[in-house]
């Protein structure tokens, strides 16, 4: 194989896969990129056996077709440090790869047999479903922050996506203490009737690609019982789904008909106050107390080693009944940071220690649930 490409093209190709390849592994081949040169350019692939990506690049001069497998991080580091201009990759004997830039600069690095590279994208004879790129980016943005980072508990270490009533698709995430829900109208896929659980790392890597390709109006999705294949422009993304059952989150989502109290809070006022609270509360994960009385809410937190802080915020409207609760301050702050509008806090007036509901004042397709902390 012998190809010549600009530094920009190779940098783009290699930077996309850096979050996927394994830094160190008992299986060295999955630390590698697979570069295949053909008559229409090159494809660059990478996988960690859970996530795989393959993208094609046509703006490459292919002097000799072929395939190489080379350490993805080292090749990326080399390309980054090369001067601007054209870079040539040439396959040598015994899987060595020569990298040249101009007449005076040459690297030689050793690769691995390309035939050992795992096959992670299998062409299925199934139809792809077309989804809005903008809507998927929005759903990930609104829910991904509450995905559990605990890989020892895989049933919540991902984003759950399913069909719901009204021809809508729902994305849900939780870390056991809070829950995020975002609904959108998307073309239905029958396999989503039972729901699919996408690993957290795959969600984050997919999001990077979607944001990079946000000018593309559509992405194309095909789901199987254990994988999800996504195509957007020249990029193909394969995800191995989590084979665990997502918790029955609907049991904690309140229905209609119970006695509730709602408080309208201006987002900017609350965010500023919570940032000040977090100076004290975040040090030892201290609870923050909210006390609603008519047209104001008093927010308070204290720490025996640091001190305390109290602030009163005026509400948009008077609450029908006084109420109070305490929660982890950072959970509410995370919600406010992804919403563009003011919020409504909903409190269960019938039972103690029920979840606190946080909603957008304008968008009905978003809902957040925060489990309260026990009040002293």
State the pLDDT at residue 284.
Answer: 86
State the pLDDT at residue 11.
Answer: 97
State the pLDDT at residue 158.
Answer: 97
**CA–CA separation, 364 vs 267, rounded Å?**
17
Mean pLDDT of 188-206: 92
**CA–CA separation, 147 vs 109, rounded Å?**
39
State the pLDDT at residue 240.
Answer: 96
Mean pLDDT of 139-166: 96
**CA distances in angstroms from 347 to 6, 263, 372, listed in the order given:** 58, 8, 11
Given a cut of 80, whether residue 339 has pLDDT beyond it is yes
**CA–CA separation, 261 vs 146, rounded Å?**
25
DSSP-derived secondary structure letter, 374: P
Say if CB 295 and CB 317 are below 8 A apart: yes
Query: How sure is the predictor about 376, in pLDDT bands with cuts at 50, 70 and 90?
Result: low
Mean pLDDT of 229-234: 95
Q: What is the CA 371 to chain-centroid distance, rounded?
A: 23
pLDDT tens-digit readout, 271-308: 999 999 999 999 888 999 999 998 999 999 999 899 99
Domain boundaries, the chain: 2-116, 129-250, 255-363
Given a cut of 80, whether residue 334 has pLDDT beyond it is yes
Instruction: Report the topology of domain 255-363.
Output: DNA Polymerase III; Chain A, domain 2 (3.10.150)
Q: What is the DSSP string of 16-30?
A: HTTTTS-SS-SSGGG
Say if CB 339 and CB 327 are below 8 A apart: no
At residue 65, the 3 state secondary structure works out as coil
Query: How sure is the predictor about 125, in pLDDT bands with cuts at 50, 70 and 90?
Result: low
Query: How sure is the predictor about 123, in pLDDT bands with cuts at 50, 70 and 90?
Result: low
Residue matched to tokens 């029908």: 320
What is the average pLDDT value for the chain, to the nearest integer? Answer: 93
Give the number of other Cβ atoms within 10 Å of residue 185's Cβ. Answer: 12
Mean pLDDT of 326-338: 96
Residues paired with 130 in a beta bridge: 220
Given a cut of 80, whether residue 24 has pLDDT beyond it is no
State the pLDDT at residue 190.
Answer: 83
Higher-confidence position of 136 and 193: 136
**CA–CA separation, 7 vs 170, rounded Å?**
41
Nearest of 347, 327, 168, 343 to residue 254 by alpha carbon: 347
* Alpha-helical segments (H) within the chain: 7-16, 72-81, 133-143, 200-212, 267-281, 329-338
**CA–CA separation, 67 vs 43, rounded Å?**
9
Q: Do domains 129-250 and 255-363 have the same CATH topology?
A: yes
Ranking 28-37, 70-79, 220-229, 332-341 by mean pLDDT, the lowest is: 220-229
User: For the chain, how far is it from start to end, CA to CA, in angstroms?
Assistant: 70
Mean pLDDT of 231-251: 95
**CA–CA separation, 116 vs 98, rounded Å?**
20
State the pLDDT at residue 362.
Answer: 95
**CA–CA separation, 292 vs 19, rounded Å?**
45
CA atoms within 13 A on the CB side of 184: 18
Q: Which distant-in-sequence residues (6+ apart) come within 8 Å of 80 by Cβ?
A: 11
Q: What is the CATH number of domain 2-116?
A: 3.10.150.10
pLDDT tens-digit readout, 26-54: 788 999 999 999 998 999 999 999 999 99
DSSP-derived secondary structure letter, 241: P
Instruction: Report the topology of domain 129-250.
Output: DNA Polymerase III; Chain A, domain 2 (3.10.150)
Q: How many residues does the chain have?
A: 376
Pairing of strands 51-57, 323-327: unpaired
Given a cut of 90, whether residue 346 has pLDDT beyond it is yes
At residue 45, the 3 state secondary structure works out as strand
Residue matched to tokens 């703006």: 59
pTM (two decimals): 0.93
Nearest of 144, 136, 139 to residue 175 by alpha carbon: 144
């Amino acid at each position: 194989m012998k190809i010549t490409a600009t530094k920009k093209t190779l940098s783009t190709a290699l930077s996309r896969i850096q979050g996927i390849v394994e830094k160190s592994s008992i299986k060295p081949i999955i630390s590698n990129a697979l570069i295949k040169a053909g008559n229409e350019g090159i494809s660059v692939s990478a996988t960690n056996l859970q996530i795989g990506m393959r993208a094609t690049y046509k703006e490459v001069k292919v002097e000799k077709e072929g395939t190489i497998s080379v350490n993805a991080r080292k090749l990326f580091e080399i390309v980054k440090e090369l001067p601007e201009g054209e870079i040539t990759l040439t396959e040598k004997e015994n899987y060595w790869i020569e990298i040249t830039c101009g007449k005076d600069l040459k690297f030689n690095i050793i690769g691995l047999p390309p035939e050992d590279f795992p096959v992670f994208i299998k062409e299925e004879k199934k139809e792809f479903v077309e989804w809005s790129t903008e809507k998927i980016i929005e759903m990930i943005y609104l829910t991904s922050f509450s995905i559990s980072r605990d890989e020892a508990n895989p049933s919540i270490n991902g984003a759950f996506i399913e069909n719901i009533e009204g021809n809508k698709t729902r994305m849900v995430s939780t870390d056991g203490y809070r829950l995020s829900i975002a609904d959108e109208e998307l073309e239905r896929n029958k396999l989503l009737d039972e729901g699919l659980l996408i690993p957290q790392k795959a969600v984050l890597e997919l999001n990077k690609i979607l944001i990079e390709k946000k000018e593309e109006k559509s992405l194309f999705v095909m789901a199987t019982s254990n994988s999800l294949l996504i195509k957007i422009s020249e990029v193909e993304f394969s995800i191995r789904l989590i084979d665990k059952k997502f918790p029955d989150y609907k049991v904690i989502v309140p229905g209609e008909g119970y006695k509730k109290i709602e408080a309208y809070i201006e987002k900017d006022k609350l965010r500023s106050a919570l940032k000040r609270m977090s100076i004290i509360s975040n040090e030892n994960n201290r609870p923050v107390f909210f006390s609603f009385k008519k047209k104001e809410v008093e927010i308070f937190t204290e720490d025996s080693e640091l001190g305390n802080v109290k602030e009163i915020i005026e509400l948009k409207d008077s609450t029908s009944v006084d109420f109070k609760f305490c929660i982890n301050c950072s959970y509410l702050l995370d919600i406010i940071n992804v919403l563009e509008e003011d919020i409504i806090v909903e409190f269960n007036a019938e039972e103690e220690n029920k979840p606190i509901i946080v909603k957008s004042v304008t968008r009905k397709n978003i809902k957040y649930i925060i489990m309260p902390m026990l009040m002293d």
